[in-house]
Amino acid sequence: MTGVSPVSVSFRTYVPHDYDQLIRLWEEAGLPYKSAGRDRKDRIEQELLHGVGRIILAESQGVLVGAVLATHDGRKGWINRLAVLPRRRRSGIGRLLVEEAEAWLASRGIEIFTCLIETYNDPSMAFFGKLGYIRHDDIMYFSKRLHDDV
Ligand SMILES: CC(C)(COP(=O)(O)OP(=O)(O)OC[C@H]1O[C@@H](n2cnc3c(N)ncnc32)[C@H](O)[C@@H]1OP(=O)(O)O)[C@@H](O)C(=O)NCCC(=O)NCCS
């Protein structure tokens, strides 16, 4: 059960023309992103062209109110860059975006959905917990980067 009527929010797939408003949404939402790395416009477009990712936008009366990037590596699905405008939070938009992302991943045969959350992000941890995601305190995230802003 969500607080959003299907009439007030609609979902569609990102197109390159949406890049600037997507960045504005991430900024307003306080979402950290890699403007010179994997979130650069051309990098995102290349990623989407490979067919392993989809950005879903949530709009209300022509205004972008939320977005999520769903990706998979053929093995696991990842929920990335989930953001909802601060003034539109707690009305079910985040949940609907994740459900859209999960449905897209499932349509590609993916049966495990995952996300990485910074330890300071208590609201996001509460959100994903509410949506049935299980926290794994026995796993540490390791990465190796070819440069700092990747
Ligand atoms: C996380 C985020 C996307 C949630 O979006 P949202 O639209 O507010 O989420 P929903 O309204 O669908 O919330 C669904 C449920 O999650 C839980 N939840 C959501 N935000 C919460 C918060 N701040 N504190 C505690 N629980 C929360 C609630 O149980 C909520 O249901 P309820 O409102 O009926 O109690 C939003 O807070 C956001 O954009 N945060 C900044 C960006 C970010 O941190 N993204 C995630 C990166 S990992």
* Residue 118 included in any domain: yes
Q: Is any ligand 1 atom within 6 A of the Cβ of residue 124?
A: yes
**Residue 1 — very low, low, confident or very high, per pLDDT cuts 50/70/90?**
very low
Angle between helices 122-130 and 93-107 (to 10 degrees): 60
**pLDDT recorded at residue 5:** 63
Q: List the residue whose alpha carbon is closest to atom 1 of ligand 1.
A: 124
Q: Is the pLDDT of residue 106 over 60?
A: yes
CATH of the domain at 100: 3.40.630.30
CB 97 within 8 A of CB 58: yes
Give the structural domain span for 116: 10-130
Average pLDDT value for residue range 60-75:
97
* Residue 123 included in any domain: yes
Residue 77 CA to ligand 1 center (angstroms) comes to 20
| Number of structural domains the chain divides into | 1
* Residue 135 included in any domain: no
CB 84 within 8 A of CB 94: yes
* Residue 114 included in any domain: yes
